[in-house]
Structure 1
């Protein structure tokens, strides 16, 4: 599994909406890495990680991000194969992930999105978005190419609209956007997340048929990140939510005033995670307000 570093990060990445957070200084700026036979992770140097599948009947790209990222990914694909790009998958509706589709369309690929994401992109277009070519509905859709199945799983309104987790069972590989961010606390106030549905979804992701995944955002080391994230990281993400909720309930039980809880909550087991100092209080505000203003779908354990 060869990793190609074009150059190393020297400063914090700044991207649309700031969703990547303070990235580690040793992350590769841009890379292409084979994580399973015919499956490659791709980083465009902007804190976003995509993936592509190469088969004898064409290529499938996952997560277009934006036009610059897409142009770099097409260049990376051409460095691996001369097969045409047949499909480009959108995970969900957020502009910072679903932009750049026009670049793949111009290259001859069909863009694919769940109907909820497609409806949003048609009604609320961004400066760099395009209407998807293939729109699917329901909880599951499969695309067959080159003897390989790409499973598209819609697991509910957990984050954004039409959020899709992609699984290639023959390769034991998945692509997961936003729902799992290894070694990082939740971004900011966890915007557009349904916290309870997110937790449920993480449990369902653990049941899917894969061993390694490309996560759209990750704070793994430069050596680890290109090789993908694993179900261990999915479990850690879910445990973080459980631990944050538990710490907030503990403060309520101690009688701490609600407006003081976000600054009282501490989760030292996650102190080394990126964003801990900046975003943990904001994470706590979000979950605390969901609990305080209820109705809240969870009860504390124990």
Structure 2
């Protein structure tokens, strides 16, 4: 199995647990282009979400997330406009989100990412990433035919080149991997997570940006209320782990004693809470 296939399988597992049931008749392979606001869409397939913005001059998208998905995305976009894709924004550098852009590269599309993404994106062993043609350091506004998308770099969270993607006039937020509503991922997906920095990102977003609509990276449904709940979880986790460390407890002791029962309805709570306790502890005393 290729690396990209493994990543897709991992994402499928995440999504199936979080969102799908046989009773719902939910098919994760089915492409869904849902209009959230006027000419602003969420494209969902294989448990990955992308922002799609349609203008009179062309289309802006985020995160191709694989060759098959990006090819199907083009077909779905063609159902609502004949305008070409002009700009692709990478939320961050992880290959499960950034691969699949070559189909757009052939059309002369502009690829945009935070500058720290350049290193990993240049080292894709499967050569399925279209390298960024434009990068930014702290902030950037991507504009096309009157539609504006602000990109903010708030420092580390899930990696070190995450763009917080925000449409200020339309009040749309794209929150990828630093927020996953009511879901605790497994330890393998926490490798790059600086949990303290993630908490700071969520706090800053909720304080500084105005939005009423959210697209996250994987779960089809989201809301400002769910982002608030993500902040509450991360803050509660920080407080419990911080206090335990100050009391001289080891990480292993904390993994057994910290429970956070308020969030026991979250997907992955029983299986993965100890991994999140451990990651928060390392973020506090190790720094990442």
In the other structure, the counterpart of 1:160 is 159
CA displacement at 1:243 relative to structure 2: 1.1
2:196/2:283 contact within 8 Å kept: no
| Secondary structure, counterpart of 2:19 in structure 1 | coil
Q: Give how far 1:296 is off.
A: 6.0
Other-structure match for 2:64: 64
* Aligned residue pairs, count: 273
Change (3 A) 1:164 1:32: same
Q: Does 1:42 align with 2:43?
A: yes
Cα separation, 1, equivalents of 2:249 and 2:168: 48
Instruction: Map residues 75-86 of structure 1 onto 2, 5 A cutoff.
Output: 75-86=75-86
Provide the C-alpha distance between the structure 2 equivalents of 1:270 and 1:164, rounded to a whole number of angstroms.
27
Contact 1:182 1:233 in 2 (8 A): yes
2:144 is the counterpart of 1:145: yes
Q: Under a length normalisation based on structure 1, what TM-score does the superposition of the two structures give? A: 0.82
Match of 1:25 among 20, 30, 42: 20
Candidates 211, 229, 239, aligned match of 2:222: 229
CA distance in 1, matches of 2:78, 2:180: 28
Distance 1:288 1:40, change over 3 A: same
Taking the aligned partners of 2:170 and 2:282, their CA distance within structure 1 comes to: 41
The answer on whether the counterparts of 2:111 and 2:132 sit within 8 Å (CA) in structure 1 is yes
Structure 2: stretches of 5+ with no match in the other structure: none
1:249 Cα shift? 4.0
TM-score, normalised to structure 2, is 0.86
Would the aligned equivalents of 2:173 and 2:214 in 1 still touch at CA under 8 Å? yes
Please state how far the C-alpha of 1:28 moved relative to its aligned partner.
Answer: 4.7
SS at match of 1:136: strand
Q: How many Å separate the matches in 2 of 1:282 and 1:88? A: 34
In structure 1, the residue matched to 2:217 is 216
Whose helix fraction is larger, Structure 1's or Structure 2's?
Answer: 2
SS in 2 for 1:23: helix
**Aligned partners of 2:193 and 2:279 also within 8 Å:** no
Match of 1:185 in 2: 184
Give distance in 2, aligned partners of 1:268 and 1:203: 22
Coordinate RMSD, CA, aligned: 2.4
